[in-house]
Amino acid sequence: MMVAASPDSAAGGERGTLVLGIETSCDETAAAVVARSPKGDGRVLSNVVRAQWEEHRRYGGVVPEIAARAHVECLDGIIGEAMREAGVAFPDLDAVAATAGPGLIGGLLVGVATAKAIALAHEIDLVAVNHLEAHALTVGLTEGLRPPYLLLLISGGHTQLLIVHGVGRYQRLGTTIDDALGEAFDKTAKLLGLGFPGGPAVEKAAAAGKRGRFTLPRPMLGRSEAHFSFAGLKTAVRHQAQALAPLREEDVADLCVEFEAAVAESVADRVRRAMEIAGERLPDGARHLVVAGGVAANKALRGALTDLAGQEGYTLHVPPAELCTDNAAMVAWAGAERLRLGLTDGLDFEARARWPLDPAAVPALGAGKQGAKA
Ligand code: KG4
Ligand code: ZN
């Protein structure tokens, strides 16, 4: 009970909450324990993540069936590790929160079924968490930043601009009409013969690249909606690469640096448009741009967003890398935030492969599989 006493004491007698989070929506198996004080401060007591890169590397992308099997094999052990590291026993928990969507259904089923078993066995609350909401609320845990704010979510499966009005209240301003940004990095890396996951590989190669040798498009520049598109950019890289084949190391580096520049300019333009649309909907004092998802680690993009935020009077917030990429601390935190509002779920809650944060958002014109997914 040592750790359970900590959120209690933070409250000056009033009890805080302890939540176990579980994340299995894609290719990371993760578990974490987070404490939330009654004042709303969050503390990560443990954060265990096991990436499945080795299992998927030879395929150059995530294979759903392999991912689900890997979750089955290691989730119990990862949960045990997270509980041990936090110094917490199951009866100390107030709730167990699991990502219940959107994502690969096999993995989601593993995480949700495990969470239900824990909730049932230990008579604690169950919170079914939307993975995108977990990314969206992470700044509350890391910086104590509360909604409303503007959110740019850029990961392997999602690319969205949203106004976060509050827990459970989101307004989507833009989405991708084709590939997610992380997916564009991964596909570009694959076609250039770089490793998986592609984002870090492209960034590493780009470090040795020189600008100006190639011309790549800036997708969606100046469009009135705040939507994204990356399929054309990736195809343009393919055409330039095919024209030059076989590629030397410096060709790859020069293509990567140009790809990053095109992405940075395109994304900054789309975020600028979202800031215009958000306009009065964001009250004064809410001029915060939060960037979440694995691609937020990209330095070229971060630089462009820092410049943009400075120009537009916004403050930029990027959670630390380990809480930006997929993790279970963000799931536990979203669970704690929902628990506080009484938003718990029944044991009959079913995992959802698709689960939009803003159900009222109309599909983006020309939305392919990825655009519709989010
Ligand atoms: O959020 P995340 O860990 O998982 C998903 O929910 O998808 O994001 C993973 C994505 C991958 O596509 C990966 O290539 C990309 O984030 N990524 C990066 C960088 N680090 C990870 N993309 C560009 N630059 C990076 N440094
Ligand atoms: Zn994610």
Taking only the tens place, the pLDDT of each residue in 121-167 is 999 999 999 999 999 999 999 999 999 999 999 998 899 999 999 99
Rounded-to-integer distance, Cα 231 and Cα 342, Å: 42
Which residues lie closer than 8 Å to 295 by C-beta, 6 or more apart?
Answer: 154, 155, 156, 181, 182, 185, 199, 301
Q: Is 25 in the pocket of ligand 1 (CB under 6 A)?
A: no
Query: Model's pTM, two decimal places?
Result: 0.90
Distance 126 CA to ligand 2 centre (A): 21
Atom of ligand 1 nearest to the CA of 131: 6
Q: Is 188 in the pocket of ligand 1 (CB under 6 A)?
A: no
Rounded-to-integer distance, Cα 294 and Cα 325, Å: 4
Q: Is 155 in the pocket of ligand 1 (CB under 6 A)?
A: yes
Q: What is the mean pLDDT of residues 301-306?
A: 97
Task: Look at ligand 1, atom 16, and give the residue with the nearest C-alpha.
Answer: 294
Distance 323 CA to ligand 2 centre (A): 10
For tokens 């089955």, what's the residue? Answer: 72
* SS3 of residue 36 by DSSP: strand
pLDDT confidence tier of residue 62, bands split at 50, 70 and 90: confident
What pLDDT was estimated at residue 344? 98
Atom of ligand 1 nearest to the CA of 324: 1
Rounded-to-integer distance, Cα 356 and Cα 214, Å: 37
What pLDDT was estimated at residue 64? 86
Rounded-to-integer distance, Cα 326 and Cα 328, Å: 7
Atom of ligand 1 nearest to the CA of 135: 1
What pLDDT was estimated at residue 366? 61
Residues 80-128 have pLDDT tens digits of 999 999 999 999 999 999 999 999 999 999 999 999 999 999 999 999 9
Among 185, 233, 302, 331, residue to substitute to test ligand 1 (most atoms within 8 Å of Cβ)? 185
Q: What is the mean pLDDT of residues 54-81?
A: 85
What pLDDT was estimated at residue 246? 95
Q: Is 107 in the pocket of ligand 1 (CB under 6 A)?
A: no
Dihedral (Cα; 307, 284, 134, 259), 10-degree rounding: -20
**Are residues 274 and 173 in contact, defined by beta-carbon separation less than 8 angstroms?**
yes
What's the whole-number average pLDDT of the chain? 91
Residues of the chain above pLDDT 70, percent: 93
Distance 24 CA to ligand 1 centre (A): 16
Task: Look at ligand 1, atom 22, and give the residue with the nearest C-alpha.
Answer: 199
Tell me how far CA of residue 164 lies from CA of 74, 146, 147, in angstroms.
34, 9, 6
